[in-house]
């Protein structure tokens, strides 16, 4: 990975000890703190077109979720080490280590799931929360993005079958997952340098297992926790903005209605697919800046 291009020049690098092992993060800027969390198939490099601009006004931290990028990939069975509660605790540990007890959070896809869990469990930690391209419970929106949910269900099936199939050609799986999730159905929006980062972090049996464990947790204990919160009538107490790509959630009104059940009435749609930060960076930046 040492030969990969530095996509965030000027950002300091940190290796922070957590219960998962060392979590990799980078930071830059001055002002109120905000942490940016990436989605599936990506690393902190997903924020390369957003983070430098935000750092002009904020202290920006980007990190690799456990199992992704340069962060530790702890051993796990049945998703136990990759619950969103565990991953949210990593975020708290990273931010505390960098001197931030309270902070804003913007999360995309898997990172948004982590942010949602953190906000529900520890609302006092967050000043603001932006969630990019998730529904409160994905199954409610199966018709909106069947290919993505199909892959998620595949990754969540019992080990070791998904790991064995994915290991046959991890590059092809990743390319297909990234490409199919974009509005244009193209890898061009990612660029060669970022794709090199994503491929380097994907081509490792321990990380392939980690990705699957992430989705196993998502389909099991994470979903059970969210449904329990919903049944209990729990609301998001943190000021929250929902940002979604129209190609990923074509029924934006239904998505916005679902989030209102959680007390969120601030949502904006973008002309993009799942990877809004790379497909529509200027619009995503504007949506974040005007909120944060």
The answer to whether the pTM exceeds 0.95 is yes
Q: Which residue has the tokens 């892959």?
A: 151
Please report the pLDDT score of residue 2 as a whole number: 52
Report the pLDDT value the prediction gives residue 82, as an integer from 0 to 100: 98
Q: What is the separation, in whole angstroms, between the first and last Cα of the chain?
A: 33
Residue 6 lies in a domain: no
The structural domain count of the chain equals 1
Spatial contact of 245 and 102, defined as CB atoms under 8 Å apart: no
Q: Is residue 200 part of a domain?
A: yes
Residue 3, pLDDT score: 85
State the helix-helix crossing angle for 161-168 and 170-181, rounded to 10 degrees.
Answer: 90
Question: Does some domain include residue 240?
Answer: yes
Of the candidates 260, 240, 283, which has an alpha carbon nearest to the alpha carbon of residue 131? 240
In whole angstroms, how far apart are CA 201 and each of 4, 42, 227, 289? 11, 8, 32, 29
Residue with structure tokens 């046959």? Answer: 168
pLDDT for residue 139: 59
Q: Look at residue 173 in the predicted model and tell me its pLDDT.
A: 95
Domain for residue 34, yes or no? yes
pLDDT at 137: 87
d(CA 100, CA 98): 6
Range of the domain at 275: 12-289
In a domain, 1, yes or no: no
Report the pLDDT value the prediction gives residue 270, as an integer from 0 to 100. 98
Q: Name the β-bridge partners of 108.
A: 132
Flag whether 45 is in a domain: yes
DSSP reduced 3-state for 205: helix
Q: What does the block give as tokens for 232? A: 């209990």
CATH number of the domain at 65, please.
3.40.50.1820
Residue of 38, 61, 52 whose CA lies nearest to 9: 52
| Angle, vertex CA 242, rays to CA 286 and CA 265, nearest 5 | 110
Task: List the one residue out of 78, 167, 69 whose CA is nearest residue 111.
Answer: 69
The whole-number pLDDT of residue 218 equals: 94
Q: Is residue 17 helix, strand or coil?
A: strand
Mean pLDDT by 10 residues, the chain (292 residues): 86 97 98 98 98 98 98 98 98 98 98 98 97 85 56 92 95 95 96 97 95 96 96 97 95 94 97 97 98 97
In this structure, what are the phi and psi dihedrals at residue 224, rounded to the nearest 5 degrees? -60, -40
- Identify whether 150 is part of a domain: yes
Q: 């077109």: which residue's tokens?
A: 49
Distance CA 11, CA 68 (A): 19
Tell me whether strands 103-108 and 59-63 are parallel, antiparallel or unpaired.
unpaired
Which structure tokens are listed for 139? 């199954």
Closest CA relative to residue 51, chosen from 43, 98, 73? 43
pLDDT of residue 142: 42
Predicted local confidence at residue 246, as pLDDT: 95
Question: Of 74, 12, 84, 75, which is closest to residue 44 (Cα–Cα)?
Answer: 12
Strand partners, 34: 60, 104
In a domain, 2, yes or no: no
pLDDT the model gives residue 143: 44
């Amino acid at each position: 990975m040492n030969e990969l291009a530095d996509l965030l020049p000027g950002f300091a690098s940190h290796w922070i000890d957590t219960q998962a092992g060392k979590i990799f993060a980078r930071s830059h800027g001055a002002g109120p703190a905000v942490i940016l969390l990436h989605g599936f198939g990506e690393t902190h490099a997903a924020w390369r077109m957003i983070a430098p601009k935000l750092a002009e006004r904020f202290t920006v931290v980007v990190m690799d979720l456990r199992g992704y990028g340069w962060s530790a990939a702890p051993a796990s069975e049945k998703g136990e080490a990759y619950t969103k509660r565990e991953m949210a605790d990593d975020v708290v540990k990273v931010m505390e280590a960098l001197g931030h007890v309270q902070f804003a959070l913007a999360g995309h896809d898997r990172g948004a799931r982590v942010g949602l869990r953190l906000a529900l469990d520890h609302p006092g930690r967050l000043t603001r929360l932006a969630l990019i391209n998730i529904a409160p419970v994905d199954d409610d929106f199966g018709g909106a993005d069947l290919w993505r949910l199909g892959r998620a269900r595949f990754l969540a099936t019992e080990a070791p079958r998904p790991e064995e199939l994915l290991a046959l050609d991890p590059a092809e799986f990743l390319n297909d997952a990234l490409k199919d999730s974009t509005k244009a159905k193209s890898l061009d929006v990612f660029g060669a340098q970022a794709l090199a980062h994503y491929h380097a972090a994907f081509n490792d049996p321990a990380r392939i297992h980690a990705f699957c464990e992430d989705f196993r947790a998502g389909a099991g204990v994470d979903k059970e926790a969210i449904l329990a919160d919903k049944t209990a009538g729990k609301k998001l107490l943190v000021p929250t903005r929902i940002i979604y790509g129209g190609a990923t959630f074509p029924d934006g009104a239904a998505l916005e209605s679902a989030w209102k059940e959680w007390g969120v009435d601030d949502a904006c749609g973008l002309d993009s697919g799942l990877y809004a930060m790379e497909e529509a960076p200027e619009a995503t930046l504007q949506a974040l800046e005007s909120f944060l």
